[in-house]
Structure 1
Amino acid sequence: MDFEHIAIEKELVPYRFEIELGVEKYELRVRYNELHDYFTLDLLKDGEELVYGEKITYGVPLFSEIYDSRFPAPTIIPLDESGKETRVSWDNLSETVFLMVVNREDE
């Protein structure tokens, strides 16, 4: 199956960018914890912080534990299409592991 993915530009971390998810615009802030080798995302909509410090965990949909009508309609899941990776790290994010955007009708 062919998925759209969100590119993370590691050389810019920490940074923020706007993105359209579904039919709405959001802002994502990307951070990296060098000591423990993991990334986090903050999700904002219209300047309101919806989620702060969501850890990007392999195979686990982002923002899945907290959800209301302000959250994006598509699901975002960190995955490696080859199936070789089992975690998200500096070495593999946006190399072999991508933030896959899955629309509800694709699930």
Structure 2
Amino acid sequence: MEYVEIEKDLIPYRFEISLSDAVFTFEVHYNSEYDFFTVDLERDGEILVTGNKLVYGVPLFTHCVDDRVPQEEIIPYDESGIHQEVTWATLGETVFLYVFEGDSDGE
């Protein structure tokens, strides 16, 4: 299964990723006071989403109705079942941002 790798030691930082046949820029931030991560999303230099909090089991950008966001679901998840939260200690250790293809079943 494919996942988006987050380099915690580089935060705050930006990187490009190809999704939905387009190139997106993710900007990752960390709130050390409350131990959570957020992601900003850009496409073609245009800001689409800011401050999207990473919540375990909840797809990123799920509340965004903009058709320009990736169609794939990107979900913070722990395949091992050890952790059910996204924190500094879990992200990139057991919790990863898994990419699930949207509408791939042809229905």
TM score, norm. by length of structure 1:
0.93
Unaligned runs of 5+ in 1: none
CA distance in 2, matches of 1:94, 1:23: 25
The code of the aligned residue for 2:52 comes to: E
- The corresponding residue for 1:85 is 83
Match of 1:50 among 40, 48, 51: 48
The code of the aligned residue for 1:101 comes to: V
Does residue 37 of the first structure (1) align with residue 35 of the second (2)? yes
- The corresponding residue for 1:97 is 95
Identical residues among aligned pairs (%): 51
Match of 2:74 among 73, 76, 85: 76
CA-to-aligned-CA distance 1:59-81 (integer Å, 9 cap, x gap): 00000011222011211000000
Give 1:84 shift: 1.7
Q: Provide runs of 4+ in structure 1 moved above 6 Å.
A: none
Provide the secondary structure at the position in 2 that maps to 1:11. helix
CA-to-aligned-CA distance 1:40-98 (integer Å, 9 cap, x gap): 00000011110000000000000001122201121100000011211100011011000
CA distance in 2, matches of 1:9, 1:67: 28
Unaligned runs of 5+ in 2: none
CA distance in 2, matches of 1:19, 1:69: 17
Number of equivalenced pairs: 104
